[in-house]
Structure 1
Amino acid sequence: MNRNQTITYAILGITNIFSGFLGLEWLNFLTKPLLMITLAIFYFQHVKTSLNTVDRIMIIALVFSCLGDTFLMFQGKNPQFFLLGLGSFLVSQLSYAFVFRKQGKTQHIRRIPFLIYVISLLTFLFGSIPAAFKAPVIVYACAISLMGITASERTSSTNSFQQVLIGAILFIISDSLIAINKFAIAIPLSGFWIMITYIVAQYFIVNGILLNRKQ
Structure 2
Amino acid sequence: MSSDAPDSSLTKSPAGFLYVLLIAATAVNLTANLIADVTLFRLDATLCPPDVTMCHPDLTPCHPEQAQPAGWVSWLIRISKPMLVPALAGILFLSTRGVASTIRRGSFYVALLFCWVGDIALLISTAVPSTEPDYFFFVGLGAFGVAHLFFIWSYAPRDKQELRWMSFVYGLPFVVYGYTLYSVIYHSLVEPKQHATVQALSIAGYMVVLLSNGVTALLRLRANTQIRESSASILAGVVLFVQSDSIIAITRYVSVMPLERFSIMATYILGLYLMVRGCFLEPREGQLSRPTAQPEARPETPPTMQAAA
Tell me the CA shift for residue 157 of structure 1. 1.7
Residue number among 105, 112, 128 corresponding to 1:55 in the alignment = 105
Counterpart CA distance in 2 for 1:91 and 1:28 is 24
Give 2:74's aligned residue: 25
RMSD: 2.0
Match of 1:81?
Answer: 136
TM-superposition CA deviations, 1:91-138 (whole Å, max 9, x none):
111111112213574311111111110111111111112514111100
**Which shifted more, 169-178 or 36-45?**
36-45
Q: What are the superposed Cα offsets for residues 5-32 of structure 1, whole Å, 9 maximum, x if unpaired?
A: 5554233211111123265211211110
1:94 to 143, 149, 167: 149
Query: Mind listing any 5+ residue stretches in structure 2 that lack a counterpart?
Result: 11-15, 37-68, 191-195, 287-309
Distance 1:42 1:200, change over 3 A: same
Change (3 A) 1:51 1:83: farther
Q: Which has the higher helix share?
A: 1
Partner SS, residue 74 of structure 1: helix
Letter in 2 for 1:185: S
Distance 1:125 1:182, change over 3 A: same
Is the contact made by 1:97 and 1:147 (CA closer than 8 Å) also made in structure 2? yes
Give the counterpart of 2:252 among 157, 161, 182.
182
Stretches of structure 1 lacking an aligned partner (at least 5 in a row): none
Cα shift at 1:161: 1.8
Q: Could you say which residue in structure 2 is the equivalent of 1:196?
A: 266
Contact 1:47 1:55 in 2 (8 A): no
Change (3 A) 1:99 1:92: same
Point out the more displaced range, 16-25 or 81-90.
16-25
| Residue of 24, 44, 68 corresponding to 1:11 | 24
Question: What TM-score, normalized by structure 1, do the two folds share?
Answer: 0.92
Q: Distance in 2 between matches of 1:39 and 1:51?
A: 19
**Counterpart in the other structure of 1:120:** 180
* Secondary structure of 2:125's aligned partner: coil
Query: If the length of structure 2 is used for normalisation, what is the TM-score?
Result: 0.65
Match of 1:169 among 214, 230, 239: 239
- Whether the aligned pair in 1 keeps the contact of 2:230 and 2:278 (CA below 8 Å) is yes
Pair 1:103–1:166, CA change in 2 (3 A): farther
> Which residue among 209, 227, 241 is the counterpart of 1:157?
227
Task: Find out whether 1:134 has 2:204 as its counterpart.
Answer: no
Amino acid at match of 1:43: L
- Deviation, structure 1 residue 200: 0.3
Matched with 1:110 is 170
User: Residues of 1 paired with 2:199 and 2:254: CA distance?
Assistant: 13
Could you tell me which amino acid in structure 1 is paired with residue 29 of structure 2? N
Give the corresponding residue for 1:213: 283
Aligned to 1:69: 119
Aligned AA (2:267): T
Higher relative contact order (CA 8 A, sep 6+): 2
Q: Assess if the C-alpha contact under 8 Å between 1:68 and 1:85 holds in 2.
A: yes
The size of the alignment, in residue pairs, is 215
Shift, 1:51, TM fit: 7.7
Distance in 1 separating the partners of 2:23 and 2:86: 14
After superposition, the Cα gap between the structure-2 partners of 1:169 and 1:200, relative to the gap in structure 1 and judged at 3 Å, is: same
The code of the aligned residue for 1:81 comes to F
Counterpart residue type for residue 156 of structure 2? R
Identity of aligned residues (%): 27
Larger radius of gyration: 2
> What is the CA–CA distance in structure 2 between the aligned matches of 1:58 and 1:41, rounded to whole Å?
12
SS in 2 for 1:98: helix
